Amino acid sequence: MIADLLHLLSFFILIQKIQKSKSCGGISCKTQELYLIVFLTRYPDIFMYVVSFYNTIMKMSFIGVTIYIIYLFHYKKPQCLSYQREQDDFPHFQYVLPAAAILALLIHKKFRLFELSWSFSIWLEALAILPQLKMLTKMQEVENLTGNYVAALGLYRVFYVLSWVLRFYSRNELCWVKTLGGIL
């Protein structure tokens, strides 16, 4: 739950940064596009059944907030005018998506469509931050809210991995996809 809330917080920090500064400068839209693919491939079950109210609300929030952030990049003036396309040049569709697909085919729970989609989303999420990190390395200066966004994403991943460790010790449950994806 802490990990989910940190992940949601990272998105709200990002939205606050964009709205406060009226700028998308320093933020990678490609990372946001990859996160949208992560959520769409991980959460197709929200259209099939309800696990819990919390689970459904969080999944819908992740998808909705990510779509909103991408909207800010492409359609909301003046934010979209400040998007630094030339700095956000990581070839995400050429490298990240195929790498996640190959990893999903090699390391998955079961060879079924839903499980492969879920494994793909785990591997893609581990790689989705790469365009943002590459963009930050190109910049001379990073705004505080952009740094806070990346830090909240990092903390989210730490707590997510801790939840897997806790499951291992409390339930003797180990999922190699989650473990290796978390390590990556």
91: cis peptide before it, omega within 30°?
A: no
Rounded Cα distance between 122 and 37, Å, is: 11
pLDDT in tens, 72-101: 988 887 767 778 888 899 999 999 999 999
Question: Mean pLDDT over residues 38-51, rounded?
Answer: 88
Q: Hey, where are the domains in the chain?
A: 2-183
* 180: nearest Cα among 115, 125, 111: 125
Cβ neighbour number for residue 163 with a 10 Å cutoff: 16
If you average pLDDT over residues 127-131, what whole number do you get? Answer: 93
pTM of the model: 0.88
In which band, very low, low, confident or very high, does the pLDDT at 102 lie, cut at 50, 70 and 90? very high
Question: Can you tell me the distance from the alpha carbon of 70 to that of 66, in angstroms, rounded to the nearest whole number?
Answer: 6
Residue 181 pLDDT class (50, 70, 90 cuts): confident
Which amino acid appears at position 102 of this protein? I
Nearest by Cα to 96 from 125, 118, 127:
127
- Model confidence at 8: pLDDT above 80: yes
Under 8 Å between Cβ of 66 and 39: yes
**What are the two backbone dihedrals, phi and then psi, of residue 140, each rounded to the nearest 5 degrees?**
-80, -30
Residue 45 pLDDT level (bands cut at 50, 70, 90): confident
CA atoms in the 13 A half-sphere facing the CB of 178 = 17
Q: What is the pLDDT of residue 19?
A: 87
